[in-house]
Amino acid sequence: MRSLLFVPGDSEKKQSKAALSGADALILDLEDSVSLAHKEGARLLTQDYLGKADRTSGPKLIVRMNALDTPFWRDDLDAIAPAKPDAIMIPKTLSGDCVHKVSKYLDRLEGDCGLERNAIKLCNVATETAASLFTMGTYQGASARLFALTWGAEDLAADLGASSNMDEAGAYTGAYQLARTLSLLAAVAADAMPIDSIYKDFKNMDGLRAEARAALRDGFVGKMAIHPAQVPIINEVFTPTREDVAHAQSIIDAFESAGNPGVIAVDGVMLDQPHLKQAKRLVARAE
Ligand code: COA
Ligand code: MG
């Protein structure tokens, strides 16, 4: 999953444009992009959208619920689960317990709706409060539903009382770099896809491309978008090039033709098991 486009749940117009964006997944949002007055309306609109959308060839449909410390989350799940979203995104998780709690709630709803157990997957935004950064190791084993984990810098800045999360040069300052790094580690440790956060300056395509490339370099497999114009750039960055795939395949072939030893030399460079693992992962991602 390379690109995940946020779509405010109360905007029929944006919902109608979103599927044409080319995003691998849409995140139909019931949380921060929806005002308190529109929570109920957004739920109904999103339910309706899920019912009408092309579920075979269209993008995966993820619904971002409201956080567990709000009065909305049960109503969100009660309304949305019967429409069978591909996944629910849980914002502002404090630890693996939050994922476990939603997973248990879905167990019951899936039973009531006649859905297969674990049909609805989960992903979460893991870094939105200061306290959440101290429990990042707890997502491992939290739920078999957990398939992706991402991070956010906007709510964390609000929690910290920071006037900005960036320095004068536009780079994330320490707390947000830490959140980004911990989310990458937490996702991989939990066997979930690490997904990079949004790039909010949606007219700056060079900035987006640079941030997406840095994410790919570090191990993220995709990035969230807030505007349809960001999607093609994210897809391009996270799609392995033909040269990348050919190079990775040549490494796999070199190990095979040498009889799969622990270590080989190619063009004067030592390659051992981590390099083989990376090559196999890249070929798998391309597929
Ligand atoms: N999904 C679908 N369509 C979108 C969209 C999105 N996320 N963002 C913009 N569009 C549509 C607009 O409706 C507009 O349609 P139109 O040409 O028919 O008028 C078109 O794309 C161009 O949009 P633009 O005028 O450039 O932006 P805007 O000022 O309308 O909207 C935002 C800017 C940031 C408000 C909007 O992109 C948005 O709502 N993003 C998602 C925000 C969100 O979900 N935040 C929570 C997670 S951080
Ligand atoms: Mg938020």
Across the 287 residues of the chain, what is the mean pLDDT of every consecutive 10-residue run?
A: 97 95 98 97 97 92 98 97 97 98 97 95 97 97 97 96 94 97 98 97 97 97 98 97 94 94 92 94 90
Q: Which of 117, 138, 148, 106 is nearest to 2 (CA)?
A: 148
Atom of ligand 1 nearest to the CA of 5: 7
What pLDDT does residue 287 have? Answer: 85
Q: Which of 12, 45, 203, 227 most suits a substitution to test ligand 1, by most atoms within 8 Å of the C-beta?
A: 227
Q: Which ligand number lies closest to the CA of residue 3?
A: 1
Integer Cα distance of 139 and 100 in angstroms? 9
269 & 161 share domain:
no
Residue nearest to atom 36 of ligand 1 (CA): 227
31 & 166 share domain:
yes
Residues with CB under 6 A from ligand 1: 5-8, 13-14, 17-18, 29, 32-33, 198, 202, 226-228
- 3-state class (DSSP) for residue 99: helix
Q: Which residues fall inside 5 Å of ion ligand 2, going by CB?
A: 32, 155
Atom of ligand 1 nearest to the CA of 152: 48
Q: Identify whether the C-beta of residue 35 lies closer than 8 Å to the C-beta of residue 29.
A: no
CA atoms 98, 90, 233, 171: torsion sign: negative
What pLDDT does residue 226 have? Answer: 98
What range defines the domain where residue 13 resides? 3-238
Residue showing tokens 């939990």: 190
| Residue length of the chain | 287
CA 104 / ligand 1 centre spacing (Å):
34
Integer Cα distance of 106 and 144 in angstroms? 12
Domain count, the chain: 2
What pLDDT does residue 179 have? Answer: 98
Q: Which of 240, 242, 237 is nearest to 278 (CA)?
A: 240
What pLDDT does residue 267 have? Answer: 86
Q: Tell me the CATH number at 93.
A: 3.20.20.60
Q: Which amino acid is at 264?
A: I
Instruction: Give the residue ranges of DSSP H helices in 11-72.
Output: 12-18, 39-52
Q: Which of 195, 180, 102, 193 is nearest to 136 (CA)?
A: 180
115 & 246 share domain:
no
Cα end-to-end distance, the chain, whole Å: 12
175 & 108 share domain:
yes
Residue nearest to atom 23 of ligand 1 (CA): 227
27 & 131 share domain:
yes
Q: Which ligand number lies closest to the CA of residue 225?
A: 1
Integer Cα distance of 106 and 88 in angstroms? 10
234 & 246 share domain:
no
Q: Identify whether the C-beta of residue 57 lies closer than 8 Å to the C-beta of residue 24.
A: no
